[in-house]
Amino acid sequence: MAAGWAATGRGACVLGLALLGAVVVWRLAESTYRSDIEAICQGEIASGLSMRSDIARVTERVRARLWTAEGNLFFSSLRDTPVERRADRLRAAGGALGIQACPLADSYAGLAAEARYRSDMQRLCSYVTFPGIAELDGTAQAAVLKAWIEENAASPRTRDLAIDLRTSGTPSESARLLRDAANEVDVLTCDVANGLENHPTGSCSAP
């Protein structure tokens, strides 16, 4: 009896391995470089996660869906590409294969745009960028910020912020606008906003 159970167990094990092998062979046969690029493009949606908050986990799940050496190589090279260039690279790869929709490329573009805005806010909030701004009156402070944004801002969102700063009524209001904008992109310290609050009276409107 024991021998019979052992034989049955071995048979089930062999059958299971055979079925697993068949699935792997079938999956490999069905997989192409194009299917891997599609998997990359749809990776964030398929994972149910967000690139903004879970980029490492999205990356891990995308990697698990790739079956060709070419697809893995492309994804590795994409991850080594600066974030501001990833969207264009992925869209180009998908477009060359007739893939029209690529949500992950859109997410990469969004991350790049947010990185540009964060960089702007880090510089706008730093006394390194604006030494002595705390000693200026409200009008002069607003003029200095406006001039810097016009000459150096990399993000359209920063230019929109300049409009709000220009029309704000007081230095305290400008400080609040600057601090709120910085907090939106996780810039938690804004020395320049503190400097603006040193002059709570007078106009903040640039001439």
Question: Does 31 have pLDDT greater than 60?
Answer: yes
pLDDT of 11 > 80? The answer is: no
> What total of structural domains would you count in the chain?
2
Best CA proximity match to 148, nearest among 127, 167, 169: 127
Residues 108, 14 share a domain? yes
Expressed as residue numbers, the domain containing 156 is 125-196
**Is residue 81 domain-shared with residue 158, that is, in the same domain?**
no
Q: Give the CA distances from residue 123 to residues 59, 168, 193, in Å, rounded to whole numbers and listed in that order.
A: 30, 20, 12
- State whether 65 and 148 are in the same domain: no
Whole-angstrom distance, CA of residue 37 vs CA of residue 102: 9
| pLDDT at residue 61 greater than cutoff 70 | yes
E strands along the chain, which residues? none
Domain boundary, last residue among 112, 140, 163: 112
Question: What pTM, to 2 d.p., does this model score?
Answer: 0.74
Establish if 158 belongs to a structural domain: yes
Residue 148 near residue 130, CB atoms below 8 Å: yes
User: 138-158: per-residue pLDDT in tens?
Assistant: 888 888 998 999 999 999 999
